[in-house]
Structure formats: structure tokens, C-alpha cells
A and B are shown apart, each in its own frame.
Chain A
């Protein structure tokens, strides 16, 4: 257990000791803040207009149904933030395994008492902690605004739960890609490619039969995290995202198998 914890500590230290990781955190925080501010500003202005002019008010039921937090703020922010995560998460995961391979330090790790499963587990866990920190930092400002304006905090939590699950799935894809190569560039590019392919299978509907799409469509990431944006938390979707972590871990374990070196 002690070597495992030592490896976890080392992984966290490496992750949080990298300027690139902090730049990634900056990027996520900045994109979230500006995006959320802009959408909330427009939403608030529309609400304010309805509340203070002769158009009516909150108690006269004259605010059009399209002016709501879900459509004006949560959905667009989540869509854009999701795409931002596809761009940023592979930057964090690309070096986790491939750098060890390139430097040859993976041989040192293999010489310890740790099994390939433990090594992969520690690296996955450390990356997930980083992803959680990333999502937490980006959550603070929207949450403060939502609480301040007395809007739907549980809905915002659902949005972030979905984003966190999505980020975990992206990180797992990135880590699995990183485990199979010693090139950080290839790890990042392949993570982007896999994430984009899995993002949405709607394009397949053009030439795949409808019966096949019934099976293929649920594999897409986009509709899964879309439910969270709608405020609906479904355990099946959480299992789906968790499944990426499990399968990614199993693949990384294959890549770390000493006989495959």
C-alpha cells in the first residue's frame, strides 16, 4: 500500500508541479467565467427588462417561456465548456504514461513492487483528482452567481456533474492513448481523434440502417452529458462515464504488461 501511495503522491506532485497543468486550469477557469458571465448577463438583462417595464413583471406571467435559465444559460455554457474540455483534457493526459516511456522511467516503475494495475490505478487516480480540481475551480464562479441570484443551484450541480463525468471519460481516453505510445504528441492527437469520434455518432445515421443506430447512438458521449444539461441526473449515464474509466484503466493495464514492452 505504501509504494502505491508514494506513487500517487508523486503523480500528483508532477501534475500540479507542471506549468502546463496550471495553464490548463487557467484556460478552463477563464473560459467558464467569461462564457457564464456573458450568458448570465444577457439572461439577467432580459429578465430585468420584463420586471421593470410595462411589459409586465414576474407575477404577471408575461415572461416568455424561452427566457429561462436552462435554455439561456445552462445549455449553451455546457455545450461550449464540453467542447473546451475536449481541447484541454488531452493536454493534461498526454504525458502521464508516454513521458515515462520516452524517458525509460517506466522500467524503473516496473522494477518496484507495484503491479501494472497499481501503476495504472495511481496514474488514473491522480489525473482524476486533477480533473476534479479543474471542475471545482470552474464551478465556483457560476455557483456564486447562481446562489446570489436565487436561481436553480441543483440544476447547476447537475450540469457540473455531467461535465465532470464527461471530463473523466475524456481523461480516460487520453490516458489509454498515452499508455500505448511514447510520443506525447501522438497521445494527444489520438485522444482528440477518439474523443471526437465518440462525441456524437449522428453522422453515422446518414448511411447506417435505423436498426443499427439504435445500438450505436447510445454509445455517443454528447447525448449522455446533454441529459445533465437538461437537469436530469440518470445513474445509467453516470455508469456510462464510469465505464470509460474502467475500460481505459483495463486498456492501460494491457499496455503496461511487461511482456508487451
Chain B
């Protein structure tokens, strides 16, 4: 058999070997024998061909082969240089591989190198995306990335409690967390759990119809509870009606939309707590008068009854236009760090929260988040609650309406801090992860409890605009553009063929 015949045999064997490998997804005797035999046959054919032709002649032949070697070297060097530089451009609609500031911050603060181990089985297509995500994280900080096949590292998988493919073990020293659905957000949360050394106790007021932090339905606040726990808070119930005083271990007290008036004794306990340097975060819906409004009034806040109507915001979920303001005006403050007009927050039927007067000269009172300057306030809360468009009185003044105000109050017992939101729904499960709501509410809690170092902009799961085409539109696109091009190409082929035949 000559070299050409041997080469043909080699190609056929290689083709069958690879075909058998890909179709059975494994290397059996048949595919292995074909691959080895084919490679050998090709190697012998090449050697025979070279021998028959003789060595590349003279200086020019050698120079040409040197050119091939140089090309190989140049490609290898350039490729590795780019690989080491870690340059990558994320063109995904949801910015999947762009590492968020919170993750960068967390990675930069790591006390030691982090190890991310991806466990997978060979045929799992999801691992490619996860692998790229882990590589993005490795480029952003001191991270070692490893991969383990589940069937080959069963002991290691068992030690970590990994049961399914595409799980990532986030390990920092001896401590580890298993992330079953790896995204940047879930890995960041695992990292937070691993690194949050200091825990703070946050008392959550209950007993007066407040939002429930255990309920997981859309109107519940379990998402807020999970996010707070994730960022180092221990949540404890505080039944205001039964409490004589706020416990001394409280890093802060959280009120989420109380519906009924608080008892005088509860308000007195809260007042006393603030006087001795307590921390309060209140999420107050419109249409209620709980007594907190009056208490906050004594601390310089102004909470007029009414709902903010912002004509710059469109209708949401059947509500009349304007009553669900989208805020994009922020005053500079640690709570709003990282937020700008492109990073909006969404409120649902919010009341205005103003600042009226400073109780003491050294106090600091500020409004931080605003509606647009075209907003006004309606006092017809019932109409808004029933989904009716509020009528605008002729004398209604337009202007920026504050949706979050904060205050710092240095007192003999310590510095009291208060953050008041004019809405609670924005932090409900339904809206917590809308736009930058999660960042705003968590950063407010961090500021109020004097944990400013935890303030950050968290990884987002961005959803691209998704407007599906109807089947009719899809078909129209296919016939209008999709099939027109191949048809034109086929006509060109036919014309050329006909011309050649007639020539």
C-alpha cells in the first residue's frame, strides 16, 4: 500500500473512531482501536511521503518551515499573553460575566485565597457557563478554580455533601458552602456567609399588623429576612405591645408597615431606646397612623398623610399612572453609594417623608431619595388604594418628593440613627429584587446599625427585555428574510450552472 492509500485508511479509521466516541459519549474498544490505528496510519503515511519527496530542499525550504515554527510560536505567545491578561468582553444581555462591585469588594477583603470547586458530570451543558463565571471571578480576586468530575471524585463530593452536577463548593480555609445553582449572586451570598464574622441582632417589631418576615408569598417579606441574615444579622421578634423596653443587645429595630396604632408604652420604650443612642429603620405605608409618625415628628421628620403621585412614572400592574414612583434622584450619602440616575429604585404607593426641623443643633437630618420634580401629593389615599386615578387639585404644588429620609442624633447615651421609608411594599418579596430596591433597603439597615463597611451594590440578575414574537410574526420574518436569502443564492447557483452548460 502506498502513502496515499495509507493516509486514506488513516482518515477513515479516525473518522469512525471519533464518530463512535461522540455517538456513544465514551471511549470503547472500537473507537480507541480506530483512533490509535488511524493516527498510526497517518503518521506512517506522512513519513513515507516526506521520504519520497526528500527533505525540504535547501535554504528556501528550511526558511519556509522556520516560518511555520515562528507562526506557531507567535500564536502561542500572543494567545497566552491575552489569556494571562484576562481580557474578556461580556456581551450577554444580562451582564452575566461582569463581576459586580459587591463581589469585587468581598474578594478584595478576603483574608486568604478562596477556592471554588466545580463538581460536574461530563455531559452537563450548564458547566460551560459556570466555568466561565468562575473564571471571571478568578480574574477579579484571589480565587483558585478547580474542577472535579462527580464519578471520579466521589469521596470529595460526599465530604462536601455535593449531590448534583454543576454545584460549586466555595471554600475559605476549613469553612465551606455548597452552591447548588451557581450564579454570581449565589456565590457572593455564600462568600458573605463565610466571611461575616460579626453578627448583629436586629429586632423586628411584631404584633400590630406588621409585614411578616416569614411569609414567602409575593406580599411577604421573607426575601428581606433572608438577605438580612445573609449579611450578618440575627433577626429576633420584638412584640412591641408586650415589651417594657428594647433589649440591650439590639443593634437596631425594624418596623415593616405596622397597620394598627402602637401602644403608648411601646412608643415610650422606643423613644427611650432612641434617647440612649438606639437605631431605628421604619418602612411606613401611607394611609396609616400608628403613632410612629408622631414619634418621628419629634425627631424632626415630617410624614404628611397622602400618596406621592409622580407623572414621570407609568402605570404598573393595573395601578393608575404615577402612584408607583420610580426614583432616580439621590442625595450623596453612604446609603446611596453606588446609586445614580441609571440605577433606579421602585416604590409602590409611597407616602412622602420630609425633614422638618432638627431637634438639636448638632443633629443631622436629610432626605436621600426623591421622586421626579413633577411629583405632587394626593390626600385621597382611598382612591389610590382602590386603583382609581387621583384627581389633582388646582393648588397641588409640584416638586421633588422625598421617599427616604434619615437622621443622626448625637445624644448623651450614644448616637441615635433613624432611617424612614415612605413605603414598605418596595421591600416585599415581589419587589425586593426589582431594580436597586434590595441595595437601598439593606444599605439603609447597614448605615442605621453603623455597619457602613457592609454597604455595597450587590450582584444583579438582570432580565433583558423580552417581547416575544407571535407565531404569525415569526413566520412572516422567516418568509420575509429567512428564506429569501437561500432562495436568492440557489437561483444564482442555477443561473451559473446553466451558463456553464451553455458555454
- The answer to whether A41 touches B471, judged by C-beta atoms less than 8 angstroms apart, is yes
- The answer to whether B18 touches A151, judged by C-beta atoms less than 8 angstroms apart, is no
- The answer to whether B489 touches A137, judged by C-beta atoms less than 8 angstroms apart, is yes
Provide the main secondary structure of the chain A interface: helix
Question: Per-residue CB proximity of A210-236 to B under 8 Å, as 1/0?
Answer: 000000000000010011001111111
Distance between Cα atoms of A74 and B496 in the complex (Å): 34
B497 to A: closest C-beta gap in Å = 4
B493 at the interface (CB under 8 A from A): yes
B8 at the interface (CB under 8 A from A): yes
B243 at the interface (CB under 8 A from A): no
- The answer to whether B132 touches A193, judged by C-beta atoms less than 8 angstroms apart, is no
Question: Interface range on chain A: under 10, 10 to 19, 20 to 34, or 35 or more?
Answer: 35 or more
B248 at the interface (CB under 8 A from A): no
A152 at the interface (CB under 8 A from B): yes
B90 contact from A34, A189, A231, A247, Cβ within 8 A:
A231
B67 contact from A145, A203, A236, A250, Cβ within 8 A:
A250
Known: A203-B18, A234-B87. A155 touches B92 (CB 8 A): yes
- The answer to whether A260 touches B56, judged by C-beta atoms less than 8 angstroms apart, is yes
Residue of A nearest to B84 (CB): A236
B343 to A: closest C-beta gap in Å = 19
Distance between Cα atoms of A155 and B57 in the complex (Å): 49
Chain A residues near B97: list those with CB within 8 A: 230-232
B396 at the interface (CB under 8 A from A): no
Question: Per-residue CB proximity of B80-101 to A under 8 Å, as 1/0?
Answer: 1011010111111100110000
Instruction: Of the listed stretches A1-9, A17-25, A95-103, A122-130, name the one at the interface; the rest are far from the partner chain.
Output: A17-25
Residue of A nearest to B500 (CB): A19
Question: Per-residue CB proximity of A128-172 to B under 8 Å, as 1/0?
Answer: 000000000110110011001111101101100000000000000
- The answer to whether A140 touches B493, judged by C-beta atoms less than 8 angstroms apart, is no
Provide the main secondary structure of the chain B interface: helix
- The answer to whether A239 touches B465, judged by C-beta atoms less than 8 angstroms apart, is no
Chain B residues near A137: list those with CB within 8 A: 485, 489
B297 at the interface (CB under 8 A from A): no
Residue of B nearest to A243 (CB): B75
- The answer to whether A41 touches B92, judged by C-beta atoms less than 8 angstroms apart, is no
Chain B residues near A257: list those with CB within 8 A: 56-57, 60-61, 64
- The answer to whether A254 touches B67, judged by C-beta atoms less than 8 angstroms apart, is yes
Known: A40-B469, A233-B89. A141 touches B477 (CB 8 A): yes
- The answer to whether A141 touches B92, judged by C-beta atoms less than 8 angstroms apart, is no
Residue of A nearest to B65 (CB): A254
- The answer to whether A149 touches B468, judged by C-beta atoms less than 8 angstroms apart, is yes
Chain A residues near B78: list those with CB within 8 A: 239, 243
Chain A residues near B79: list those with CB within 8 A: 236, 239-240, 243
- The answer to whether B91 touches A203, judged by C-beta atoms less than 8 angstroms apart, is no
- The answer to whether A33 touches B75, judged by C-beta atoms less than 8 angstroms apart, is no
Distance between Cα atoms of A251 and B489 in the complex (Å): 32
B109 at the interface (CB under 8 A from A): no
- The answer to whether B478 touches A33, judged by C-beta atoms less than 8 angstroms apart, is yes
Known: A69-B93, A151-B465, A260-B56. A140 touches B485 (CB 8 A): yes
A197 at the interface (CB under 8 A from B): yes
Chain B 20-60 residues near chain A, CB threshold 8 A: 21, 26-27, 31-32, 35, 53, 56-58, 60
23 A-B residue pairs with Cβ-Cβ distance under 8 Å, sorted by A, are A17-B496, A19-B493, A20-B493, A26-B493, A30-B486, A36-B482, A63-B466, A69-B464, A69-B466, A138-B485, A141-B485, A145-B482, A186-B8, A196-B18, A203-B35, A206-B27, A232-B132, A233-B90, A236-B87, A250-B68, A254-B65, A257-B64, A260-B56
Q: Taking A151-B93, A254-B64, A259-B58 as given, write out 16 further A-B residue pairs in contact, using a Cβ cutoff of 8 Å, ordered by the A residue number.
A: A19-B493, A19-B496, A29-B489, A44-B469, A59-B317, A70-B129, A140-B481, A145-B482, A150-B466, A151-B464, A197-B18, A203-B35, A246-B74, A247-B72, A250-B68, A254-B67
